[in-house]
Amino acid sequence: MRKTSKRLFALAMVIQLTPVSAALDTARQAELLYLLKHDCGSCHGMTRKGGLGPPLLPGNLRDRPPMLMENTVLDGRPGTPMPPWRGLLTEQEAHWLVEAMRRGEGL
């Protein structure tokens, strides 16, 4: 491998390993809030007060481990109507969504 391509490879690795805390751009954040309201809202209620799925308000999520919630969003809950969103959402986006729900953002 030539030196420049080695450097480019290293750079690509660094970009890929950027921590999940790196901010999503505001356009994507707006899309995620729209998804939360309309897609997740079809089961959890447009104002997250619950329906077919349980409520997703800050008070309901306060005691839930965020990692568990992220896994639920990404992989769903087999045997329940909660579908997996992996493929539509990245891990970073699932993380952001869970934090947004915990803050009550967009309500």
Q: What is the total count of residues that contact ligand HEC (CB under 6 A)?
A: 22
Among 6, 30, 39, 91, binds ligand HEC (CB under 6 A): 39
The DSSP secondary structure of 19-78, one letter per residue, reads: -TTSPPPHHHHHHHHHHIIIIIHHHH-TTSS-SSSPP-SHHHHTTS-HHHHHHHHHH--T
- The site map against ligand HEC for 53-92 (x = CB under 6 A) is xx-x---x---x----x--xx---x--xxxx-x-------
- Give Cβ neighbours of residue 54 (< 8 Å, ≥ 6 apart): 44, 60
Contact positions toward ligand HEC, by CB under 6 A? Answer: 35, 39-40, 42-44, 52-54, 56, 60, 64, 69, 72-73, 77, 80-83, 85, 97
